[in-house]
Structure formats: C-alpha cells, structure tokens
Amino acid sequence: MLPIGGFFIMAITKDMSILEVVQKYPDTVDVFVNAGMGCLGCAAAHFENIEQGAMAHGIDVDQLVKDLNTVVGA
C-alpha cells in the first residue's frame, strides 16, 4: 500500500483489468499463475477485471489483490 496524505491506498485494485496490471507490473504474472489464473494471454484477460477473473476461477479476490500488492511493494 502506498501512503497518500496519511492514508494507505493499494496500487492494484480488484476493478483493474488483468491485462493492465500485468503490463504495468510484470512481476504479478507469477501471482496470477500461482493462484490458478494461468490464462493471462487469453481473450478474457483483455477485458476482465481482477474480480471477474478471480470469480471465474473460484479464487478469493481479496487475497489475490493483497498478494498482487505485496509483489509490487504497495
């Protein structure tokens, strides 16, 4: 999480597109793959957000977002 004006914000949120996150933060690829979302090159990754992708794969979206933010140092 990033400190902003005394508050902490997450760099990655569940409403961000999967493709956007992977392009901006390449280190997140391993997190997605380890969570069971290995289809980062599929068409859905281009328009689905993290929450939609996690739900489609039965993954806890809050834990996934937490893990993604840990990897990017947020």
**Considering just the CA atoms, what is the radius of gyration of the chain in Å?**
12
Q: Where are the domains of the chain?
A: 2-71
Backbone phi, then psi, for 14, in 5-degree steps? Answer: -65, -15
DSSP 7: E
pLDDT tens per residue across span 11-67: 899 999 999 999 999 999 999 999 998 777 777 777 899 999 999 999 999 999 999
**What pLDDT does 3 receive?**
53
pLDDT tens per residue across span 2-23: 555 555 556 899 999 999 999 9
**What pLDDT does 40 receive?**
75
Q: Which two tokens stand for residue 13?
A: 């949120």
**What pLDDT does 15 receive?**
96
**What pLDDT does 8 receive?**
54
Q: Which CATH class name applies to 2-71?
A: mainly alpha
Closest CA to 12 of 57, 59, 44, 51: 51
